[in-house]
Amino acid sequence: MVYQRSWRMAFQAAFPATIPVLTGYLCLGMAYGLLMAANGYGPLWSVLMSAIGFGGSMQYAAVSILVTAFGPLQAFLLTLMVNARHMFYGLSMLERYKGLGWARFPLIYTLSDETFSLVSTVDPPEGVGRREFFLCISLLDYSYWVGATALGGLLGSFIMFDTTGLDFALTALFVVLFLEQWKGKEHRPAGAAGVACAVVSLVVFGPDNLVIPAMVMILAVLLGGRKLLCA
Amino acid sequence: MRLTPFETLGIILAVAAGTQITRWLPFWLFPENKQPPAWVTDLGKVLPAATMGLLVVYCLKDVAWSAAPHGAPELLAIFAVAALHRWKGNVLLSIAGGTALYMALVQCVFV
């Protein structure tokens, strides 16, 4: 009974935190299902890709691979590059995901941009366990993405209202969580460094190659300034 | 469908493998039964803030700054998110308000 109650409390605490992700994923996931359907890959395939691949922007990039000649190695290498940013998420979560046992498998498997932004910034409320809270957030986000893909593949073309711009919910989510980090004075130099390195990388390397140079610069700045930042 | 079902499954597995390697690598390199070096622990403390900054810029990467409306909808909506968040401090309200403004701007104002 105690066990059940702690899960219910975790769900009640986690669900509101995931609503912005629900909005964004509903929009982007449905658009993905639609795009796949438009290229001849029905809901079965788009849902399989979302459930197994679970990689957001990478899944969009993979559509272009699915419509050319069979190139699994190319798909694999492109994925490593597009998703290299995930390595930062793991590095940040080493401490918070420590000692969670079996739960680490689903937690790490589903560690997307949006899930990372929540689990790295939001703490479980008093009386709610870390394992239950983080699992609820991760699995809710995951089910939104898979569910939205299915919806898009099945009935996307019946949507009646103009959803243009709805996916801005995810940008807004990152802005808000950036501000939440910014509240801690000790996090400000790192936050500013992140924005600055990404902007420099965007200007120098362009939108398609922004991530990896930005990561290298961020690592250099943070490690270089470590004595100052973590004193 | 350009590929056969088997080939499609192959691409799905290739994408999954690539994604999962990037997600698991840090946990493989620094297993929890061993104390990671100090620089890794320090990095773990400052990376979330830096990464959130990177993600914000990443979301804006395809904005055409040099052509009209020069990213005005994005900048106005982000300003609204920040102002709402400072005012009320309610995550959902900040996101809903900013997103609603953005949708109004791209659908009605900067068409």
Shared-domain flag, residues A219 and A177 = no
Question: Average model confidence (pLDDT) for chain B?
Answer: 92
Shared-domain flag, residues A148 and A212 = no
Shared-domain flag, residues A198 and A149 = no
Region label for B76, one of left (φ > 0), alpha (ψ between -120 and 50) or beta (otherwise): alpha
Q: Residue A230: what pLDDT?
A: 59
Predicted ipTM?
0.90
The domain total for chain A is 2
Could you tell me which chain B residue has the CA closest to the CA of A186? B46
In angstroms, the CA B91 to CA A21 distance is 12
Enter the tokens of residue A158. Answer: 């019946």
Q: Residue A121: what pLDDT?
A: 92
User: Which residues in chain B are contacts of A92 at CB distance < 8 A?
Assistant: 44, 47-48, 51
Could you tell me which chain B residue has the CA closest to the CA of A69? B3
B38-80 pLDDT tens trace: 999 888 889 889 999 998 998 899 999 999 899 999 999 999 9
In angstroms, the CA A201 to CA A214 distance is 5
Shared-domain flag, residues A47 and A125 = yes
In angstroms, the CA A138 to CA A216 distance is 27
Could you tell me which chain B residue has the CA closest to the CA of A39? B1
Distance from CA of A57 to the nearest CA of B (A): 11
Enter the tokens of residue A37. Answer: 């359907």
Q: In chain A, which residues have pLDDT < 70?
A: 1-3, 156-161, 229-231
Shared-domain flag, residues A131 and A192 = no
Enter the tokens of residue B61. Answer: 């990467």
Distance from CA of A157 to the nearest CA of B (A): 18
Shared-domain flag, residues A141 and A202 = no
Note down the domain range covering A45.
2-159+167-183
Q: Residue B72: what pLDDT?
A: 96
Q: Residue A208: what pLDDT?
A: 84
Q: Chain B interface, mutation test: which of A41, A109, A179, most B Cβ atoms within 10 Å?
A: A179
Query: What confidence tier does B2 reach under pLDDT thresholds 50, 70, 90?
Result: confident
Enter the tokens of residue A76. Answer: 């694999």
Asked if B95 lies within 8 A of A172 by C-beta distance, the reply is yes
Q: Residue A231: what pLDDT?
A: 54
Asked if B51 lies within 8 A of A79 by C-beta distance, the reply is no
Say if CB A86 and CB B50 are below 8 A apart.
no
Asked if A108 lies within 8 A of B36 by C-beta distance, the reply is no
Shared-domain flag, residues A148 and A214 = no
A54-102 pLDDT tens trace: 988 789 888 888 888 888 998 898 898 788 889 999 999 999 999 999 9
